[in-house]
Amino acid sequence: MEFCPKCKSMMFPMEGSLKCKKCGYVKEKETNPELLSRSNREEREVTVLEGDIDEGLPTTTARCPECDNNIAYWWLRQLRSADESETRFFKCTKCSFTWREYD
């Protein structure tokens, strides 16, 4: 796993390179990447991604509260302490409305 040198977000594999979904930074894949370990954690603001980055996200059946479409992209984020469940985010595939669900 690699992190963006500009914004420190996780990099995702894209056709022979790694791309940051937050700031758009692109890095060519290395043949022998170095391993990096970090033990301290910082709380950060959640950024909702917009544009065609969503194409790589999984979809599920979820009713959009805005347009009643029944398919949405979804992702999880740990927003609260580690002993509490993750927050599930949805983004409508039709109107791009984003909402969250707590367990």
What CATH number is attached to the domain comprising 7?
2.20.70
For residue 87, what pLDDT is reported?
86
14 shares its domain with 51:
no
How many Å apart are CA 73 and CA 60, to the nearest integer? 6
Residue carrying the six token digits 């805005």? 66
Q: What is the pLDDT of residue 62?
A: 93
Q: Does 53 share its domain with 17?
A: no
Query: Each residue of 4-62: pLDDT tens digit?
Result: 889 988 888 888 888 888 898 998 876 655 656 666 777 778 776 565 555 678 889 99
Task: Give the residue numbers annotated as catalytic, written as ranges.
Answer: 83-84
pLDDT value for 78: 79
Q: Is residue 50 located within the same domain as residue 79?
A: yes
Domain shared by 49 and 92, yes or no? yes
What 3-state class would DSSP assign to 68? Answer: coil
Residues 78 and 88 in one domain: yes
Same domain, 33 and 73: no
Tokens linked to 24: 């758009």
Is the confidence at residue 84, as pLDDT, over 90?
no
pTM > 0.85: yes or no: no
pLDDT at 68: 92
Residue matched to tokens 């700031």: 23
- Domains held by the chain: number: 2
30: domain range?
A: 1-40
- Tell me, what CATH number does 101's domain have? 2.20.25.10
Is pLDDT larger for residue 56 or for residue 98? 98
